[in-house]
Amino acid sequence: MTRLPFHKLFPEGNPTILIDNRERLISPEQYGFLGAALMSEPYLGGEQVGFIETPRSPDAQGRMVMMGGELCLNALRAYGLLLGLDGSDEAAATPFLVETSGAESMVEVTAAARGDAHDAEVVVRLPLRPHVRRPSPDLATVRLPGIVHFVEAAGDSPSDPAADAERLSTLMAEAIAAGERAEAFGLMRYRPEAPDEARLTPLVHVVASGTTVMETSCGSGAVALHASGADSRPLRVRQPSGAVLHVDVDDGMYTLRGGVQLLAQGVVSMPRRRDADASRS
């Protein structure tokens, strides 16, 4: 049975599994069903899965592809910690250029140790021109590379996972009927807490893996919330985990900053397809 090297990381919530596939142990066509199985409890447990590949450009120091081909900024920050460690006990504050799914241009990631050997603040910088539509005063549709977020004011009612899942399904169906296509869709319900701070409740559906997850942190969702706003001031986005992600933009260059911890690493037996089907049922 094939055994896959893995790392499990915690980018301010959002438990992320990264599989080292530089030896091409598996084909990219398997990423969707493998991701669904690996993030289930019988395997590694998590909210998303990315796959480390050999860079294609000589200018890139790394390459990371998500299970559904989507853009995931928290997974990029998690990968940034691994690049910063590079076999050592403490992340060095060196910028790395990374190729990633969902983005045409390379992304810069920098990890700087913040005490514990496997704990760092990781910053991702990338050029983005979000396409924002506002169907109603309380709802914005924000298209980022590889993912579409529906950013909606939460009001005073508490979050209801079942209602949120139904709302995301409705918004996705409307968007797809209107010709929208993306590798992933998210419902980002938010509550303003100050002029420069908001609380986010993210729900994300990845098309290829068929998974819908109420995430404990969402980096691209934090960026989408910032993009949906009326100004470009820095924004603190509090996640369901209680942690804060910091978002800023300067002339189209977005910066997302927050902590990442390395939780575990080792090898995992390659799941069977029926394990993935069971995890989605």
Closest alpha carbon to 278 in 24, 38, 11:
38
Q: What per-residue confidence (pLDDT) applies to 153?
A: 94
Closest alpha carbon to 250 in 148, 126, 157:
126
DSSP-assigned beta bridge partners for residue 202: 188
Question: If you count them, how many residues does the chain have?
Answer: 281
Please state the pTM of the whole predicted model: 0.92
Which parts of the chain sit beneath pLDDT 50? none
Domains of the chain with bracketed CATH: 3-126+260-274 (3.10.310.10), 131-249 (3.10.310)
Instruction: Compute the distance between CA of residue 18 and CA of residue 11 in angstroms, rounded to an integer.
Output: 12
Tell me the pLDDT tens digit for each residue of 246-260. Answer: 999 999 999 999 999
Q: What per-residue confidence (pLDDT) applies to 270?
A: 85
